[in-house]
Amino acid sequence: MERRDFLRRSVFAGVATGAGLTLGSFNDVFAGNYAAPYDMVAALGGEAEVMFEKAIASLGGMKAYVKKNQTVVIKPNIGWDVSPEKAANTNPKLVGKIVEHCLQAGAKEVFVFDNTCDNWQKCYTNSGIEKAVKDAGGKIVSGKSESYYQEVQVPNGKNLKKAKVHELILNSDVFINVPVLKSHGGATLSIAMKNLMGIVWDRGFWHKNDLHQCIADFATFRKPDLNIVDAYRVMKKNGPRGVSVEDVVTMKAQLIGKDIVAIDAAATKLFGLDPANIGHIPNAEKLGVGTTQLDKLKINRIKV
């Protein structure tokens, strides 16, 4: 380990522990406190980019989350070597639009990556996300080398006590999580919390040690500054990879919010299931990550 690396990690571990003890949020350290007018924005009926622009505007625009000269990391789901219509990956148009808004807000650099399941170059290309990111002026980065990942502690985790996390997540000022809503053979649904499995290296441990608990545990680590759930096309069965376009429905929905548990709960309802039945959602609520009580939240519902 290099000296600089060591220092960086030590400082980070210190911050992580401190934040954990005070039950504070990472977001305070990284992005400052922003009192958003809504806890969540839900949009329905439009194109992904259009819904995003209306939703983010109602939250005060991207400048409320990204300050001048900050670095931003965006984590879409790019897990599979399939085309956008199959909805196994986040909608590329949405990802491109988010990159654009971050840069307009004054971001110094916008990075996009995923620790993919299929061959990463093929995923990046065939998902259409690489092109969308580059066209928008962002940087697409590999997530497929252990050397990018650094071990961190997860002090509030029950089963998961440590994980190897991509350095971009650790080093960037703002972290935006952009999952796609879809069915999932193991986790029932894959939404925002499940999407965070793509920022860690050693996922086998999760599968071996109660997947639902580990997903919830990891959500106590660095909570994203913003979660944007793409539910434009939704894979209703055979997820997370899907077999054909016939697994997919066009739902034309989108959710944006900071509370990752609330976001997952709302998305589960969009999907037509009960959040209480998606193991990691109640698990995370128990750990104090967020709330599933949507009626207590201020939600802006937009129909496009």
> Which residues of the shown chain bind other proteins in the complex (CB under 8 A)?
4, 42, 44, 81, 109, 111, 117-119, 121-122, 126, 139, 141-142, 144-148, 184-188, 204-205, 207-213, 236-238, 240-241, 243-244, 246-253, 265-266, 269-270, 272, 277, 279, 294-295, 299, 301
Q: Closest distance between other proteins and the C-beta of residue 57, in Å? A: 19
Q: Closest distance between other proteins and the C-beta of residue 157, in Å? A: 15
**Cα→Cα distances 131→50, 101, 121, 177, 180, Å:** 19, 16, 12, 19, 18
Q: Closest distance between other proteins and the C-beta of residue 61, in Å? A: 23
Q: Which is closer to other proteins, CB of 177 or CB of 213?
A: 213
Q: Which is closer to other proteins, CB of 19 or CB of 102?
A: 102
CA separation for the pair 57, 256 (Å, rounded)? 11
Q: Which is closer to other proteins, CB of 101 or CB of 241?
A: 241
Q: Which is closer to other proteins, CB of 63 or CB of 118?
A: 118
Distance in angstroms between the alpha carbons of the first and the last residue of the chain? 51
Q: Which is closer to other proteins, CB of 177 or CB of 300?
A: 300
Q: Which is closer to other proteins, CB of 65 or CB of 113?
A: 113
Q: Closest distance between other proteins and the C-beta of residue 71, in Å? A: 8
Q: Which is closer to other proteins, CB of 67 or CB of 134?
A: 134
Q: Closest distance between other proteins and the C-beta of residue 268, in Å? A: 9
Q: Closest distance between other proteins and the C-beta of residue 132, in Å? A: 17
Q: Closest distance between other proteins and the C-beta of residue 303, in Å? A: 9
Considering Cα of 128, then 131, then 134, then 137, what sign does the dihedral take? negative
